[in-house]
Chains A and B, each alone.
Chain A
Amino acid sequence: MKPRKRMMSLGLSIANLGYHYAAWRHPDVPADGNMDFRHFVHCARLAERGKMDGIFLADSSAVRDLDRPAIAREMEHQLVKHEPTALLTALAAVTKHVGLVPTASATYNEPFNLVRQLVTLDRVSHGRAGWNMVTGFSIDEARNFGLDKVAPSDERHERAAEFVAVMRGLEDGPIDHQGKHFRVRGSLGVPPVAHRIPIFTAGESDNAQELAARCADVVYGGQPNIDDARAYYASVKGRMAKYGRDPDELKMMPGIMAFVGRTLQEARDKFDRMQALIEPRLGLGLLTVSSFPDYTGYDLDGPVPDLPMPGGRKSEFVVGALAKAKRENLTIRQLYELVSGGFWHLGMVGTPTMIADLMEEWFATGAADGFNIQPPCIPVDAEDFIELVVPELQRRGLFRTEYEGTTLSEHLGLRRAVPMAEVA
Chain B
Amino acid sequence: MMPLGIALSAPGAVSDFDVMLAAASAAEEAGFDFVCLPERPGLDPIALSAGLSAVTDSIGLIPAVSAPFHRPYNLARRMGSIDHISRGRFGWSLQAIPPAQEAARFAHMALPATDDAAPRATELAAVIAGLWDSWDDDAFMRDKASGQYFDRAKFHWLNHEGPHYRVRGPLDTARPPQGRPPLMVQGGTDVGDALAAAAAEMLEIMPRHLADARATRAKIGRGLAARGRGPDALCVLAGLALEDAPVQPGPLILSEAPAMLAALMAEWRSAGAVDGFILHLPDSPDMIRAAASELMPALRRLGLRDAEATHGTLRVRLGLAAAPSRHAA
Contacts and interface: CB of A to CB of B under 8 A. Distances in A.
A93 B55 contact: yes
Contact of B142 (A31, A62, A143): A31
Interface string B80-93: 11101100000000
Contact of A86 (B47, B69, B101): B47
B56 to A, nearest CB: 9
Nearest to A140: B168
Interface stretch (A179-187, A217-225, A375-383, A404-412): A179-187
A144 interface: yes
A155 interface: no
Given A24-B149, A124-B17, A144-B73, A80 B105 contact: no
Interface residues of B, number: 61
Contacts of A144: 73, 167-169
B293 interface: no
B197 interface: no
Interface stretch (A71-79, A229-237, A289-297, A303-311): A71-79
A189 B82 CA distance: 24
A32 B142 CA distance: 7
Interface in B135-163: 135, 140, 142, 144, 147-152, 155
Interface stretch (B106-114, B243-251, B296-304, B318-326): B106-114
Interface stretch (A109-117, A239-247, A318-326, A341-349): A109-117
Interface in A161-189: 181-189
Nearest to B87: A37
A120 B172 CA distance: 24
A330 interface: no
A301 B53 CA distance: 51
B166 interface: yes
A63 interface: yes
A89 B63 CA distance: 15
A191 B12 CA distance: 13
A109 B73 CA distance: 10
B142 to A, nearest CB: 4
9 smallest A-B Cβ distances: which pairs?
A: A189-B41, A183-B107, A120-B47, A90-B54, A31-B142, A143-B168, A89-B50, A146-B166, A86-B81
Interface of B: 13-17, 21, 40-44, 46-48, 50-55, 69-71, 73-74, 77-82, 84-85, 101, 104-109, 135, 140, 142, 144, 147-152, 155, 165-174
12 contacts: A25-B144, A63-B155, A74-B149, A74-B150, A86-B46, A108-B73, A112-B69, A120-B51, A144-B167, A184-B104, A188-B41, A190-B43
Given A24-B144, A282-B147, 18 more contacts: A61-B77, A62-B172, A74-B150, A80-B172, A81-B173, A85-B47, A92-B51, A93-B52, A108-B74, A110-B69, A123-B43, A145-B73, A146-B167, A181-B108, A185-B105, A185-B107, A188-B42, A190-B14
